[in-house]
Structure 1
């Protein structure tokens, strides 16, 4: 159809639904062809009961990959049609066990040849096609199980939007953004402490003039993310600390934290650093995951000026 040629792969769901509708319409007519008063959507439940005998609704749902409410609805419809009944002889009376009725058993035997004919027809269709749809579906199901379409699209969105982010060096014009972003972030989870004030109120004296750096992430020209590389005392065993990373909630999910972290680490490497240190709190799971992704590993030992710190991490640049 011209619509699908125009829209392209973004219409995958619509195209699959259209094919499903076409096949389902034919399936209903095929049941009529074989004299079976049967609804196509019943088939997975009907097949499981015909093949395995009595089953609970939960067991059927697990077997066919449907939800329990969906299976319950189908069971009710099939019961009304006289194809399914509760197994009153089941040992465990606390569970609702269903089985094919005598009418259902007869129908199951009658449509056995139908299933064979359908399978042969599908094989013929596969032999005429350039691509084996059945095998492709198995492969796609496996790949989507490993990584869903939602996750894949989200990754592409992040990648595209991250290309619109520009990381720049700190200049006095960004002081208010550096301070405001950090105050917003810290206040959201903790309390601003004295050491925070020293860095946020006097960024140039406390960080820049002592040999550190501050990076600013611009998105559409607006400073919406910051991160500092603070020079540490040689007695600590570390060269620099990654600190004061804050990203505006307006742009979270655009990989800005990752881009800032990479900029800080690359700067530390350029400055000849061997080890970079950071402090955080384990309630900040996204941040901890980011630090692990950047290569940081948990350590212990240094005294911290922050009450909120309950985890310390380091990045050994000699190993990266």
Structure 2
């Protein structure tokens, strides 16, 4: 078993790079074999220009999906070898356009036979395989355009780490965590207010004894997140989602999402129709989370908090 078979899919980048290096090495020899003497890394730019239309570097970069500096460097190399020429755009003198030179056009004509043979060779390889690599590459590119590998790996990381998270009902032993986690995040962005002290100093009397609930997120048994469901005496709302806080050391583990889902499910079981919350638009990750949970912006209700500049509600 070779290294890549042992390493498996985690080595996909390295294996693709190895395959690319093998093909690129052959490509360099193919250009020499057919007498075009191009460099493999020039090919996307060369092919884009060989279609006959002069283009700006920006247009080429967008077409071949390379960075602007990368294309600029390739153009400079090709210009030194007299394969391309640059000139002012006739319609916009502020821009430079690039086109193939006479030498470049001759190479474009000469390379057509190379294209035929390379295409036939690739088709022959494909005919001997169980999977069409060219189509698979297209599918991968499409899927990665929708969501990058980085995003997908991070999602898997969150799923794995969230499996170690349990959501439990509040107990007196979690009182200090409820207070400390909230004081930590409030003090990071704002200042503690009177309404904060009321609920954090006496969660039993201010929240629980009035028909509310507090949920605690445990990560490997340690309290790292909290969220309250406060009973409201209001004609429009049944409960308020409040005092959600997650320890900085536990962020990125989907804990806010798990707490939010659990709190709303608790509200449903209690027969709630509508849940209210207040926040501040400075807290963009929190606002995004609330939207993801189904909350929508509302207006017109008084607030006990100076820091509140957005109110939201969700119908269950």
- State the TM-score bracket (shorter-chain normalisation): over 0.9
3-state SS of 1:66 partner: coil
Residue 257 of structure 1 and its aligned partner are, at CA, apart by: 0.7
Matches within 5 A, 1:67-216: 67-87=67-87, 90=90, 92-216=92-216
Residue 221 of structure 1 and its aligned partner are, at CA, apart by: 2.0
Residue 283 of structure 1 and its aligned partner are, at CA, apart by: 2.0
3-state SS of 1:52 partner: coil
For 2:106 and 2:200, locate their aligned partners in 1 and report how far apart those are by CA, in whole Å. 80
The change in CA–CA distance for 1:302 and 1:95 in structure 2 (over 3 A counts) is closer
For 2:88 and 2:162, locate their aligned partners in 1 and report how far apart those are by CA, in whole Å. 61
Are 1:236 and 1:302, in contact at CA under 8 Å, matched by a contact in 2? no
3-state SS of 2:5 partner: helix
- 2:309 corresponds to: 310
Are 1:229 and 1:242, in contact at CA under 8 Å, matched by a contact in 2? yes
Are 2:89 and 2:96, in contact at CA under 8 Å, matched by a contact in 1? no
Residue 36 of structure 1 and its aligned partner are, at CA, apart by: 2.3
For 1:86 and 1:258, locate their aligned partners in 2 and report how far apart those are by CA, in whole Å. 54
Unaligned runs of 5+ in 1: none
* 1:252 equivalent in alignment to 2:251: yes
For 1:302 and 1:55, locate their aligned partners in 2 and report how far apart those are by CA, in whole Å. 57
CA deviation vs aligned residue, 1:39-96 (integer Å, no higher than 9, x gap): 1111111112221332221121112111111111111111121212223685644222
The change in CA–CA distance for 1:200 and 1:19 in structure 2 (over 3 A counts) is same
3-state SS of 1:74 partner: helix
Q: How many residues align?
A: 316
For 1:303 and 1:142, locate their aligned partners in 2 and report how far apart those are by CA, in whole Å. 48
Are 1:214 and 1:228, in contact at CA under 8 Å, matched by a contact in 2? yes
For 1:310 and 1:249, locate their aligned partners in 2 and report how far apart those are by CA, in whole Å. 23
Unaligned runs of 5+ in 2: none
User: What do you get for the CA RMSD once the two structures are aligned?
Assistant: 1.6
CA deviation vs aligned residue, 1:216-275 (integer Å, no higher than 9, x gap): 111122211110111111x43322111100011111111111111122112222222222
